[in-house]
A and B are shown apart, each in its own frame.
Chain A
């Protein structure tokens, strides 16, 4: 048999192998198979050879070798050495697109920049807080002692610790190099040029400045806090008190004694301590000679202990020691279980869940709330991007179609769009850093204690910002990228994509509604708080606050000045009080209504005729007047809440008699109708009015005058006639009360700013959406016009989709914000609020509608005005 073709390997096996292998590189495998076949053909014959071939193919089909080659092949179209050029191309295309579609670019950059600015603020605070107390040289060796106190009902962790712990540990454990005791509550009122200026600070142990790395501008760190009644001022306090003089060695007069300035330190930055002045811990021991701190294993408030370990001491050693101390402490408190813990200095802030923290106490929950608020503003901006990107699909669809035809894979299209979005967010980041710089100071002054935050743009803050915008870019870009990568190239090139992206559909409707929902909730919030502000200022607190002039007594002879003021013709009445009504009342006293139980009540000292002058109502008894002592009883007035609170106790004899913590027996002679002595965000507490001119701090003058300036000047003259050392300061009670509601002004500002951002972003989105959809419908509008549609009907067709969506948003937002503000937020801020009114809801919604419709009108106006003939030619 000559000239015969050599028998070939079985076709079907070869086919199966090639089909299974797909694009994998199998050239050498097929070669091996063929060679083997030929070899077997010669040595074993055709049948056997074919059989062996099939067996070998099967062994290869299921082999790891082929699997590996197949998976390698599926990535083979990636040319990693080429990706840089590809990335460059993406950048180029992105920038060209930004230039070509200016409206789209501007809307998104502005929106994202506005949204990101709040987030940047929150982030910079986050970064700052996480770097608190990092600057101390010995930070790794300093620990704060915390106390966990658990009884049957609850378990609380306190930042402070038992009074005796500090000394006990210093004595007992040699691995502790220093114990620094810090006690809060040093609030001196310093006499300064006739004024009383109050400051807040701590009592601190002598080694404070040697342990913590606070720089002293002047003074010796070793001895600054060694003596009793020595005081350290922060720089800003020193400047207020002494201007350009050197404060070192000067003395300061306070009610508790004379302090000598032994040092000036830089203002606090990046630390959990928050104080203006420091005095030595010995001062506290001198002032409270009776308190035996060394053996006090009971009280833990206000006492903070920091330990500095010797170098190379492990924290475990400290924890073991603390376990021993805990056992000791629990022995003194049989009803509670006390566990001492330690927190390394840099970890004190941010705290997660600790009570009684020193300083402002930056805790994570608040920060997370702030961040969420920022994200809530940012989200509409991201939605804008998603919406508008998909809406302008028409413009990009052809490009994508051609890319796909040329050979771009889904992943590459996705990469392109994500890169484009990231580029846009970086542009927005630049803008938002500018906005961030603008709002930074304004916002931080509104947040308590923010002056010790360092939110300047450092390298690490910038790195966090860039990372953040990268994430935002990916989040915003992923949906458009997915959408575009799924487009069918044939449809796009034929232009069939148009019909599908013309309307506003599906998920985009949802996003759109959400944007307007957020804006509405914010704007109703602004309306609600403004109304509350007006409400509290006009609210009848239950006493007369108009025409009342408050004058601090200071060091003047109280009785003389009251008598003298009475002689002035414009002054109809004069009385006195220890605290101004309408303001916060910090003073409390413990009373025992039945000789056993105690109750904490607010206490106010008043002068004669207080009740009558302030126009308060008695529900029972008489205002008493005069401090008549009958049978060693002091005659007092109380409010109804007092009676309600004491009624729960079993009072044996006379329910009108109770005794104060210092043993004074009091008899109730009058009951006042409940009124808001404190601002409306405080509950009405039990209150006791005691007559004492000596304890009063303010003269309250009821003044009716045609020329109030003149009257005040005359009063000033009377004042200086009595005492020239004290200065005359008069302010109207109304104004003082208004200042007490400053927190509402802060809220108005914050909410106003946030809602302005949300509204601007949503309206930008609306503008973009309207302009793209009208653009997509240019031809339709032209045809409608030619067929004789009126302007009115055109507006209707163009706007009805959007109006519907805004209405849906309103329908969701109104009940939500009613519930949220009326039931939750306002009740927290203002206990005695009248809730959310209808007027401000309607006004807020009307405002948003107005802005929204203006945006729609602006865009549709353009299209309907155009000449339909040119529009038809245009496409």
Chain B
């Protein structure tokens, strides 16, 4: 497992996976806000995205110009294979911990 994947980073990666081909900055903020109830600043969001890109978990590309944004293009993000692998590692770790838990975790 290369690099350490933070909890928030994991959340962002999974949200990108959920949004599919519509994963751009603002959409991610809104989606996380709706699901997790977290209110994120744009700077925080984009910083995390930049870091994830540096780590090689995601890539980005610019989309087509849109009217609603004054002709500005959106930057879309998508998972790379190493991003997917790292998510899988995280999940495997979680599953293992859940399965081995000595305390009853079911509610």
Contacts and interface: CB of A to CB of B under 8 A. Distances in A.
Interface in A20-44: 27-36, 38
A32 B24 contact: yes
Interface string A427-460: 0000000000000000000000000000000000
B42 A32 contact: yes
Interface stretch (A62-70, A83-91, A560-568): A62-70
Given A27-B73, A65-B50, A36 B41 contact: no
Interface in B28-46: 29, 41-44, 46
A30 B72 contact: yes
B101 to A, nearest CB: 36
B91 interface: no
Interface stretch (A53-61, A403-411, A495-503): A53-61
Contacts of B25: 28-29, 32
Contacts of B51: 64
Interface string B36-68: 000001111011011100100000001000101
A31 B72 contact: yes
Given A29-B25, A31-B74, A32-B26, A38 B68 contact: yes
Contacts of A28: 24-25, 62, 72-75
A69 B54 CA distance: 12
B69 interface: yes
Nearest to A36: B26
A35 B41 contact: no
B6 interface: no
B70 interface: yes
A33 B43 contact: no
A830 B54 CA distance: 70
B82 to A, nearest CB: 20
Nearest to B62: A28
B77 to A, nearest CB: 10
Nearest to A72: B50
A187 B88 CA distance: 80
Interface in A838-862: none
A59 B43 contact: yes
Contacts of B66: 31
Nearest to A68: B50
A88 B31 CA distance: 52
B72 A56 contact: no
Contact of B70 (A29, A34, A63): A34
A56 B69 contact: no
B78 to A, nearest CB: 14
A59 B44 contact: yes
Nearest to B63: A28
A50 B75 CA distance: 23
Contact of A29 (B41, B42, B68): B42
B69 A34 contact: yes
B63 to A, nearest CB: 9
B43 A63 contact: yes
A620 to B, nearest CB: 94
Given A28-B62, A32-B24, A34-B70, A55 B47 contact: no
A35 B68 contact: yes
A63 B68 contact: no
B75 A59 contact: no
B69 A65 contact: no
B26 A35 contact: yes
Contacts of B68: 35, 38
Nearest to B40: A59
Q: Pick the most buried of A33, A34, A38, A65: most chain B CB atoms within 10 A of its CB.
A: A65
A31 B42 contact: no
B31 to A, nearest CB: 13
A66 B43 CA distance: 8
Nearest to B70: A34
Contacts of A62: 43
Contacts of B47: 63-65
Given A35-B26, A64-B51, A56 B73 contact: no
A69 B70 CA distance: 22
Contacts of B73: 27-28, 31
Contact of A65 (B26, B46, B62, B72): B46
A59 B29 CA distance: 14
A427 B92 CA distance: 63
B38 to A, nearest CB: 14
B62 A59 contact: no
A24 to B, nearest CB: 12
A31 B66 CA distance: 9
Q: Pick the most buried of B25, B44, B49, B62: most chain A CB atoms within 10 A of its CB.
A: B25
Interface string A5-30: 00000000000000000000001111
B64 to A, nearest CB: 12
A65 B62 CA distance: 16
Contacts of B41: 55-56, 59
Q: Pick the most buried of B41, B42, B62, B74: most chain A CB atoms within 10 A of its CB.
A: B42
Contacts of A63: 42-44, 46-47
Given A35-B26, A35-B69, A60 B74 contact: no
B75 to A, nearest CB: 4
Contacts of A38: 68
A60 B70 contact: no
A803 to B, nearest CB: 63
A223 to B, nearest CB: 64
Contacts of B44: 59, 63
Contacts of B24: 28, 32
A362 to B, nearest CB: 50
A4 B20 CA distance: 37
A809 B68 CA distance: 76
B11 to A, nearest CB: 17
B42 A36 contact: yes
A69 B25 CA distance: 15
Contacts of B50: 64-65, 68-69
Nearest to A64: B47
A25 to B, nearest CB: 9
A29 B74 CA distance: 8
A15 to B, nearest CB: 15
5 contacts: A27-B75, A35-B68, A36-B29, A60-B46, A63-B47
Interface of B: 24-26, 29, 41-44, 46-47, 49-51, 54, 62, 66, 68-70, 72-75
Shortest 3 CB-CB contacts between residues of A and residues of B: A63-B43, A59-B43, A31-B72
Given A28-B62, A60-B42, A65-B50, 14 more contacts: A27-B73, A29-B25, A31-B69, A31-B73, A32-B42, A36-B26, A36-B29, A55-B41, A56-B41, A56-B43, A59-B42, A59-B44, A63-B43, A65-B43
